[in-house]
A = this chain, B = another copy of it.
Amino acid sequence: MTDVLPSWRPGATRDALVGFFDAAHDIPPSDRVAVFDNDGTLWCEKPAYPQLSFYVHELADAAQRDADLASRPEYDALLRRDGARIAELGVPRIASALLELFVGLSPEEYSRRARRYFAEAAHPTLARPLRSTVYQPMLELINALRAHDFSVFIVSGGGVEFVRSISLDLYGVPPEGVVGSMIAYEQRTVDGAPALVRSATLDGPANEGIAKVHAIQQHLGRRPILAAGNSPGDREMIEWAVASTGPTLGLLIDHDDDVREMAYESVAGTFHSDERIVDVGRAAGWVVASMRHDWEAVFPS
């Protein structure tokens, strides 16, 4: 096992992963289900969510073609990267304005734009392409899970079509294996056939907290026995997984490496707790992976 996890340093964390694989041998393959949060768990989410970077890139692109766009306060603040003004306008207004950029697009066209962005985008500070800010140790963990007949899914707070546009390339997870926040589609009739186009509103709740548990059941149909995350929005999903019968594993990524990535405390998705998620996890017996101490490499070489 340890030679398939070369980027995990020897120690208690790697021992816990290896021990879980050993224990999983007694579980029927159809019950070997692992779910992973994406932002901050499988790839770098700082200084901005990649989805936000994509949206701002598309905004800048659109503003070059249509100068009037910058007269809208939300777009003006985003284009100037004016953090104070963005905060003043508030997340709901900013998010809604960004979603409006894609209204009327088919899902296929939206995915094409996301893939085009990913083909060229660079991370703003890490001096590497955005698509290679995935965490090498987590890719190895996913591969090891598959080698042990696990089904591996992504359960993200991000937009489901955004994550699907790169999930197969980056993680080997096909679109149907990705759950995320869903945009509402409007139905049109084009040449006598149904067509779906994006609206600017969500279809259901943002995929955080207990919504992740519901979405896993409704969209994937199996209860996970391994759940990995990094933020309070992953708490219920992990609690649900580790309350399964038989061997289970809850895994948290602790962003404590200010040299190779960034050191920060994840607060995404928390509106109900001032506890630190790593403290919650340690108290509950989950495995907390320290990027600084447990990972020999952070990103693919």
Q: Which residues of A contact B (CB under 8 A)?
A: 30, 107-108, 151, 153, 160-161, 164, 168, 174-178, 182, 185, 187, 190-196, 203, 210, 213-214, 217-223, 236, 239-240, 242-243
Contacts and interface: CB of A to CB of B under 8 A. Distances in A.
Nearest to A245: B108
B221 A160 contact: yes
B164 A194 contact: no
State the copy count for this chain.
Answer: 2
Most interface-central of A108, A151, A196, A221 (chain B CB within 10 A): A221
Given A219-B219, A221-B161, A196 B176 contact: no
A176 B107 contact: no
Contacts of A185: 214, 217-218
Nearest to A161: B221
A177 B107 CA distance: 19
Nearest to A218: B182
Contacts of A187: 210, 213-214
A30 B167 CA distance: 12
12 contacts: A30-B168, A107-B223, A108-B223, A153-B176, A161-B221, A185-B218, A187-B210, A187-B213, A193-B239, A193-B240, A194-B240, A196-B214
Nearest to A284: B192
A195 B243 contact: yes
A142 to B, nearest CB: 16
Contact of A203 (B174, B182, B194, B218): B218
A214 B199 CA distance: 13
Given A210-B187, A221-B161, A194 B239 contact: yes
A108 B195 CA distance: 35
Given A185-B217, A221-B161, A174 B194 contact: no
B174 A196 contact: no
Given A30-B168, A176-B221, A187-B214, 8 more contacts: A107-B217, A107-B223, A160-B218, A176-B219, A176-B220, A187-B213, A194-B210, A194-B213
Nearest to A167: B221
A134 B214 CA distance: 31
B108 A221 contact: no
Which of A107, A151, A219 has the most chain B CB atoms closer than 10 A to its own CB?
Answer: A219
A210 B187 CA distance: 8
A177 B151 CA distance: 12
Contacts of A240: 193-195
Contacts of A30: 168, 174
A196 B217 contact: yes
6 A-B pairs with least C-beta separation = A175-B221, A193-B243, A176-B220, A193-B239, A164-B221, A194-B240
